Amino acid sequence: MTLKKELSTKEKVAAVVAGTIILSAIFYWSFQFVGMLEFLEMAYG
Amino acid sequence: MELLPFFEWAETSFLGYIGKTYGGVYATFGQSLHLMALAVLGGSVLVADLRLLNVIMRDVPSEIVAEQAHKWFKVALAVILSSGVFMAAAVAQRMYHNDFFWAKMSALFVGIAFVFVIKRPLLKGSHADIHPMVIKLVAIASILVWFSVAATGRWIGFSG
């Protein structure tokens, strides 16, 4: 693969959308995980 | 827009009636087909994305792997959507009130849009012309979004 200095518009859009998806997924699943921990703490102390 | 009337109608429709009344039809044409298609879709996503990440099949050009995987992705997606509509119709009102159903639908919508609007147009042609970092970002996002579809889908079964 060749390394280019300038990204094309298609590459820029793909990078932004992919980055948004990755951050959203991390946020969503972290939120779910914290919710589960709080629930377990309430149930079992 | 209020969607509840649509879900109420779906449950009383022909599909809803068949799914509700005949457990065998629901289990075979609904759940079994849905799960098998999910396995094919998950497989095609993982094969293509792990190749893009240079983890597997390094001796095969990534363009060929991505192209072949996408053909099976489309078949699996068509089966998932049709069997999913059938399954959801049988329990439509329960689905309407289930948060994870909406989480799955959102992830599915994002996943489909990502594949057909971003990923495929980007990966058509030579991958050597695309910045390696962008390819890797797209592959990781793709795995995460389809993981979220599968996980929220399974979560529906364990909630409500």
- Compute the average pLDDT of residues B4-17: 84
Q: What is the pLDDT of residues B89-109, one digit of tens each?
A: 888 888 888 888 898 999 999
Residue type at B126 in one-letter notation: S
Q: How confident is the model at residue B23 (pLDDT cuts 50, 70, 90)?
A: confident
B128 touches chain A (CB under 8 A): yes
B3 touches chain A (CB under 8 A): no
Q: What is the pLDDT of residue B24?
A: 75
CB atoms inside a 10 Å sphere around CB B135 = 24
CA B128 and chain centroid, separation: 28
**pTM of the full structure:** 0.86
Structural domain of B77: 4-158
Closest CA to B115 of B156, B77, B58: B77
A18–B118 CB contact, under 8 Å: yes
Structural Rg of chain A based on CA atoms: 19
DSSP B106-138: HHHHHHHHIIIIIIHHHHSS-GGGS-HHHHHHH
User: Which of B143 and B1 is assigned the larger pLDDT?
Assistant: B143
A10–B132 CB contact, under 8 Å: no
Closest CA to B119 of B52, B19, B34, B32: B52
Are B44 and B120 in contact by the 8 Å Cβ rule? The answer is no
Percent of chain B scoring above 90 in pLDDT: 56
Can you tell me the ipTM of this complex?
0.82
- Compute the average pLDDT of residues B35-60: 95
Q: Which two tokens stand for residue B44?
A: 């095609």
Least confident range from B12-26, B68-82, B115-129: namely: B12-26
Q: Which residues are within 8 A (CB) of B152 and not within 5 positions of it... i.e. 6 or more apart?
A: B100, B103, B104, B107
Percent of chain B scoring above 70 in pLDDT: 98
User: Which of B138 and B153 is assigned the larger pLDDT?
Assistant: B138
Q: Which of A1, A7, A13 shows the shortest C-beta gap to B118?
A: A13
How many domains does one find in chain B? 1
B1 touches chain A (CB under 8 A): no
CA-nearest residue of chain A to B119?
A14
B145 touches chain A (CB under 8 A): yes
Q: Residue A2: is its pLDDT beyond 60? A: no
